[in-house]
Structure 1
Amino acid sequence: MGHMIDLKSADGTTFAAYVAGPAGNPKAKGGLVVLQEIFGVNSHIRSVADGYAAEGYFVVAPATFHRVQPGVELGYTEADMGTGFGFKTAVEGLPAPGVMADIQAAIDHASQAGKVGIVGYCWGGLLTWRA
């Protein structure tokens, strides 16, 4: 089971991220950044991170909506999809580097475990090719 921490981007922006490491704190196989769906770092993304941690990885799941709305944690209703899509559109409209600086901060934090992989779900999948 992981916990929330604060990370800092190169531009000084502080944002939340969920981190989870291998049980019993053994040496991690490496780092992994998990990029959220349009629903935020919700219970599903946290459980995905916990699953990778159970397999031996040090996982960081950054809250990539924080520049437009901190603390987003949506469900999977039609209304939630509309809300999440609105946040996604707003984040994608930010001036460069926008959320990419936050993803880099997550990569940097995950690198304490060695080499870092990145995986994205839903909107996060679109962000992985940019990172």
Structure 2
Amino acid sequence: MSGQDITIASKDGNFSGYLATPAGGRGPGVLVIQEIFGINANIRAIADNLATRGYFALAPDLFWRQEPGIQLTPNTQAAWDKAFELYRNFNVDKGVEDLITSLDHLRALPGSSGKVGCQGYCLGGLLAYLMAARSDVDAAVGYHGVGIDSKLSEAKHIHCPLMLHIASADAFVDTKAQAAIHAALNTNPYVILHDYAGADHAFTREGGDHYNKKQADLANQRTAEFLAGNLKG
């Protein structure tokens, strides 16, 4: 497995991404969709882990239109303030466009099987949901996605397997929003919803204030099985 920063060409300009390559040089792909902290050490570690499991893993820089190269460590107030500023000014539609460009880039890599999934966190959880509705991604996973309840009108367009991990005590996704997500998606045959009782936002981020190893391990195992079943079969 090896990882490197790469350049991705789009119609609006070039942007960077972190690409981790499987040791065998062949396999399906996974887009790793960032939180509001950019392509930081945590996101790179997730990509590296996916590469050890036989995937090309690409984490594109989705804040490049505001400030390229953001890598924040969420352990200071200044980092949080900067992250929320970037989040407030983020154009979701352009973000999905950049992810679709990144999806095409992954599919075109030498050794790629052509199958590509995505997994995203926080803002990336919302974007994973939107990728299931707006793109031809083969499978999508969202962890504690913020704002999905405001985009439920797009649920009818979901046409690929989608798994969402919902933190029941998420400070950024209240119980009303969670209920709306369930009401809109429970009967969708493409969608699997998992709830994690007592878990708060970012419960899977190692080193974070709300990290819950037991529930994170469960969510990550479910994701591993889901992606393998849909991308490696």
TM (norm. structure 2) is: 0.51
Q: Deviations over 1:77-116 (max 9, x none)?
A: 2321221111011113x7xx41222111111111132111
Percent of residue pairs identical: 38
| TM-align CA RMSD | 1.4
Tell me how far apart the structure 2 counterparts of residues 91 and 109 of structure 1 sit (CA, whole Å).
22
Q: Unpaired runs of 5+ in structure 2? A: 132-233
The equivalent of 1:44 in structure 2 is 42
Q: Which SS does the other structure have where 1:98 is aligned?
A: helix
Matched, 1:89 2:88: yes
| Distance of 2:38 and 2:8 partners within structure 1 | 16
List, as ranges, runs of 4+ consecutive aligned residues in structure 1 with deviation greater than 3 Å.
Answer: none
Using the TM superposition, give the Cα deviation of residue 40 of structure 1 relative to its aligned residue in structure 2, in angstroms. Answer: 0.5
Query: What's the counterpart of residue 17 of structure 2?
Result: 17
Q: Distance in 1 between matches of 2:50 and 2:31?
A: 10
The separation in 1 between residues aligned to 2:95 and 2:130, in whole angstroms, is 10
1:122: which partner in 2? 122
Partner residue in 1 for 2:141 = none
Map 1:23-42 to 2 at 5 A. 23-25=23-25, 27-28=26-27, 30-42=28-40
Letter in 2 for 1:19: L
**Alignment check: 8 A CA contact 2:24 2:54 kept:** no
Q: Which amino acid aligns with 2:6?
A: I
- Contact 1:65-1:87 at 8 Å conserved across structures: yes
> Of the two structures, which has the highest relative contact order with CA contacts closer than 8 Å and spacing of 6 or more?
1
TM-score (norm 1): 0.88
3-state SS of the aligned residue for 1:61?
strand
Q: Show the counterpart of 1:8.
A: 9
Which blocks of at least 5 consecutive residues in structure 1 are unaligned? none
